[in-house]
Structure 1
């Protein structure tokens, strides 16, 4: 039986960059489709159902940030930003609307492919049985029973720790900003209280990680937030 190859949507206004990325992806055994602007990207995303997207946010017919928000409203595919602009505010804005990773031009082909493949693996690693069970190697989250187990042994999480873990685990690979997590879990009154988040993340790591000082699942994105890695 032939293996189904993941399909990646390339969105970049420069034809030479689209051709370069297309060659790189095909050489790695992936399928590639492309778009030069937001309108074409929306059409491709809605008709070809790609498994991931590589996006340069500098588009001729609108803001790439708006395209991310639009795609994210109807799809959980990994979105990797590829851009020449190295501005922290732009990175934060991209992550806030749902981007998963950020690579600067000029880029290393090996690094870009490694990051893309990691996102595709993370997406595939989250095995959903029905809609109530999440499995990641030795970690299992039963959403119906609200039970978290590691290697078959139930863990005793507080309600807040459970909420934090399930929020991250439902979106493997996605970066959640500190302020975003604080708003979603504690409410808008606490969106600057990052020390709350650090304390609860430390406690949660002690319970689910084999080595909390070198976490397997709950990773820190320095000065930005956290992500769950399957």
Structure 2
């Protein structure tokens, strides 16, 4: 049920520019695990946001990296969730994600990022061309994002996905899981991830992207899992 959808953002979305290291900030090591804004949009569109009472609707990415999924949630669906949480076991990732969330919904942070990109254009010819493209896109995007910015509560915390703190609300986990060839899962074995989340958050939904090779290990001990193929050998796992 889409009650709050920013169609202008979705129409103008350029995933090559709306990515970390370009419009959004990056952190050391984050380039190894880029996540497409288009894929994030695809996942978030399918989250069932129908209220199950008066509790807040919470989007939580427990493997946030640079924060692409929460950023797209704020930009594309500014009222779909009441609370947006980004967490990661890597403190640098959490700080980067929080900065990116602010870029999407705070005019001062957006302007500061645009000024930083403008300043970087003088470093070399390649940076100048790329920076000009990013600046032009940001000029188009600014009124789309900042006229009616998301008014949700934003949270960012360093945390182990196997030991997340309890919260009060309807939780929807959406994440790109660490892949062995790109990043490493810390905190516990992959086979225990879904059972641990189901135990701690029995009413939560979960939508995770993983590799086809990891599906059996991730899902073998958890009944009721739904699978959907993505491109490039990846699979969406829904609980």
Bigger strand fraction: 1
Same fold by TM-score greater than 0.5: no
Q: TM-score, normalising length from structure 1?
A: 0.28
If asked which structure has higher relative contact order (CA below 8 Å, sep 6+), I would say: 2
> Rg: which structure is higher?
1
Q: TM-score, normalising length from structure 2?
A: 0.27
